[in-house]
Amino acid sequence: MFLAHGGGIGRAVCQRFASEGASVVVADISEESANETLGSLPSDLRGQAHRAAVVDVSSKESVKKLITSIQTQYFQPPSVCVNAAGITQDDFLLNMDEDHFDKVIQVNLKGSFLVIQAVAQALVACGAPKGSIVTVGSIVGKVGNIGQANYAASKAGVEGLTRTAAKELSRFGIRCNCVLPGFISTPMTDKVPEKVISKMKSLVPLGRMGEPTEVADVCAFLASDDSRYITGASVEVTGGLFIG
């Protein structure tokens, strides 16, 4: 069983896990986005039961309600959780509105905390022998980016949060790892001018933007038993960006 979010990278992750036979819960603040992703999932494999759900990850009540509803429907908490929820509200540091800073922190960092906490509490309470939580950070959290003080701070926090969670939850058999995407082609980047895209590609040793499916592949590895001896790791999916 799997919990993810319905847009961009999250959609690719949901599709990958469904193709592996998981029952996928697509959770998004946008019901339309969640249902679009739900409609794209394969369900040919026996026993799969996908569903869409609306959640505001910045609200503890909303997150707890979601986890409770999953347990009611599936008779267990999600054994795998990928939290790909995230927003940007960009501006230069000198001009950034405090509300925009707070909103990005609320969704990206506090949201990650609330999701990890709720899933872990449910897994521990039911005595599950293992679980895997994957957070989606960003390479921006490591290196910063002009105009993204709020986003960079939130994603740096997600990485630190994930490592701390890994240390605290390992005794319960729960692994926590973080994926750090670089320049990934998503609907958001479709709006970026081609001149800017070309500049971005020139900075990547592999010479291209990444695809959401390539991030999903790493998430699938970290969720699987193939990574059973990996916890507290941060995996860069950047095409070699910033390797020196």
Phi and psi at 46, nearest 5°, equal -65, 135
**6 residue type, one letter:** G
Give tens-digit pLDDT for 82-105. Answer: 999 999 999 999 999 999 999 999
Global pTM value? 0.94
9-19 helix and 31-39 helix, angle to the nearest 10 degrees: 40
229 catalytic residue (yes or no): no
Of residues 134, 151, 158, 182, which has the active-site annotation?
151
Domains in the chain with CATH codes: 2-237 (3.40.50.720)
Average pLDDT over residues 231-240: 98
Could you please report the per-residue DSSP string of 48-101? ---EEEE--TT-HHHHHHHHHHHHHHHSS--SEEEE-------B-TTT--HHHH
pLDDT above 90 (res 243): no
What is the pLDDT, as a whole number, of residue 2? 62
Residue 48 backbone phi and psi in degrees, to 5 = -75, 140
CA–CA separation, 55 vs 52, rounded Å?
10
